[in-house]
Amino acid sequence: MAHEVADKVTYNAFLSSYWLGKEEMANKKLLSLIELENHIGVTEMQEFKNTSEQSQREMRLLLGQLIKEKLIQRLKDAKWFSILVDEVTYCATLEQLLIYVGYVDEEGKSHFDFLEVKDILETSESADSDTLTRIITEELKACGLTLALVFGFGSDGASVMTGKNIGVGARLQKVCSIMERSHYINHRLALACSDANDTVKYIQTIEFTLRQLWKWLEYPRSVPVQHL
């Protein structure tokens, strides 16, 4: 009986952690969510003892690994897939490469899922095209995926990605000749919106109004709303 309760508690804790991630909620809310579950009648959750940050981190890593393994299997079943990458800077010092994959399942439904995030400078001193290509190639190989089956490559349009001869896309295309390269539309839209903010007065007015409204709602007693 005790083992059954322990198994149920563990299952509920993992399910709660997964739900937080699925709903894009803060990881630190896990203990609060478990406390709520206990309050509304899931009394066995009071037996959950793995409340340390390390334990919660290990839970998330295990969940992430399981989700990734299932994603890899779906990619293998789909055979052909595309990849989309983007560089981000975390805490102004850590350069990371985000890797996403797009594919169509057996039912003909299209999917676009997160695959991995890699520390670019962990094994290199420069985030050049050679380094980025190596990271992508090694990640696909580690997942048991074949680069030759990549039919699409999307990037943020930076020269290191789109260079005609030595860009990341060009290097990958040497392995998979049918691969199409593109500057993904979301990034193009973001650039267009950024340019519009700088040149169109109407958008500047809306942005200013929304910012003032946010300040008024966030700090109603200390920040007076400026009139246009």
Q: What is the pLDDT along the chain (228 residues), one digit of tens a residue?
A: 677 878 889 999 999 999 998 888 888 899 999 999 988 988 888 888 888 999 999 999 999 999 999 999 999 999 899 999 988 876 666 889 999 999 999 889 999 999 999 998 888 888 899 999 999 999 999 999 988 899 999 988 888 898 888 899 999 988 888 888 888 787 788 778 777 777 888 878 888 899 889 888 888 766 555 554
- Phi and psi torsions of 110, nearest 5°: -85, 145
In the chain, what are the helix, strand and coil shares in percent, each to the nearest 5? 55, 20, 25
50 near 59, Cβ under 8 Å? yes
pLDDT digits (tens, 9 = 90+) for 28-41: 899 999 999 988 98
The first and second tokens of residue 205, run together, are 């007015």
pLDDT digits (tens, 9 = 90+) for 162-194: 888 889 999 998 888 888 888 878 778 877 877
- The upper half-sphere exposure of residue 102, i.e. CA atoms within 13 Å in the direction of its Cβ, equals 10
The rounded distance, in Å, linking the Cα atoms of 27 and 21 is 7
- The upper half-sphere exposure of residue 24, i.e. CA atoms within 13 Å in the direction of its Cβ, equals 0
The per-residue pLDDT for 227 is 53
Q: What is the pTM of this model?
A: 0.74
Question: In the block, which residue shows the tokens 């037996």?
Answer: 47
